[in-house]
């Protein structure tokens, strides 16, 4: 068992918000694994978005991703803003369902975690990437609550995308994530589950931090 906290859950549930704040509270490393998939998606869209490209290992090997906090550089270029675009959001499930991509990024995540204790969030962190993580958190929330959070991120009333469209696109993404053949979105059997519908970010952090401290205390007594 290693000192990794794996946070999984569907889109818009608050995984990244919790992961960043939990890592800061524990003074651990944080890695936004969804950002890695978004980097590959952005590169794919830029380089021609053909299905063949996604299984081209040589193409993948030519992509170098540097992560510093919430900032992502791809081959030296800062694409932190670009990877949050609606176009990337609409295509990231397609890219992340390809085994070649997942295997490539899984290896990158494992190398990252060798350095020191860390918190990672995604969709298969506790089931595939780190099945031996000492704490696996699975966040849930209703589709409506998650879509509203995403819509507010896009600007709310000033968003170029209406709430109903965000909800429909998110439900389609949920379906892809949960039914894909490679690493479908499911909670680990031993995951600690937390419904975030009625909790704000502070409340979610308090619950998760309490559980993390409880698990860490148990490790110290082994």
Q: Mind listing the pLDDT tens digit of every residue in the chain (222 residues)?
A: 679 999 999 988 999 899 999 999 999 999 989 899 999 999 999 999 999 999 999 999 999 999 987 899 999 999 999 999 989 988 998 998 899 999 999 999 999 888 889 999 988 999 999 999 999 999 999 999 999 988 988 899 988 889 999 999 888 888 888 887 777 889 999 999 999 998 999 999 999 999 999 999 887 765
Residue 50 phi/psi, 5-degree rounding, is: -90, 145
Task: State the pLDDT at residue 1.
Answer: 63
| Helix (H) / strand (E) containing 108 | helix 99-114
Which pLDDT value is given to residue 93?
85
55-85: b (≥16 Cβ within 10 Å) or e: eeeebbeeeebebeeeebebeeeebbebbbe
pTM of the full structure? 0.83
How far is Cα of residue 43 from the mean position of the Cα atoms in its chain?
18
Q: Is 12 left (phi over 0), alpha (psi -120 to 50) or beta?
A: left
Domains of the chain, earliest start first: 2-215 (3.40.50.300)
What pLDDT is recorded for position 12?
85
Contacts of 170 (CB under 8 A, 6+ apart): 11, 12, 143, 146, 147, 150
pLDDT at res. 87: 94
For residues 31 and 39, give the distance between their C-alpha atoms in angstroms, rounded to a whole number: 13
pLDDT of residue 205: 98
Question: What's the confidence (pLDDT) of residue 220?
Answer: 72
């Amino acid at each position: 068992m290693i000192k990794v906290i794996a946070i999984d859950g569907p889109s818009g549930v608050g995984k990244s918000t919790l992961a960043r704040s939990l890592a800061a509270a524990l003074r651990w490393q944080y890695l936004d694994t969804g950002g890695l998939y978004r980097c590959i998606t952005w590169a794919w869209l830029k380089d021609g978005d053909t299905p063949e490209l996604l299984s081209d290992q040589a193409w993948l090997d030519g992509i170098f991703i540097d992560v510093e906090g919430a900032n992502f550089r791809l081959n030296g270029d800062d694409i932190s803003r670009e990877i949050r675009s609606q176009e990337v959001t609409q295509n990231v499930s397609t890219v992340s369902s390809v085994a070649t991509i997942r295997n490539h990024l899984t290896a990158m995540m494992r190398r990252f975690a060798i350095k020191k204790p860390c918190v990672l969030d995604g969709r298969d962190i506790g089931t595939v990437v780190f099945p031996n993580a000492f704490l696996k958190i699975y966040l849930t929330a209703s589709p409506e609550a998650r879509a509203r959070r995403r819509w507010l991120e896009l600007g709310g009333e000033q968003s170029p995308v209406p709430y109903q469209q965000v909800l429909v696109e998110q439900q389609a993404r949920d379906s892809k994530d949960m039914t894909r053949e490679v690493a479908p979105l499911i909670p680990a059997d031993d995951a600690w589950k937390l419904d975030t519908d009625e909790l704000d970010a502070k409340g979610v952090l308090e619950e998760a931090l309490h559980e993390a401290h409880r698990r860490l205390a148990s490790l110290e007594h082994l």
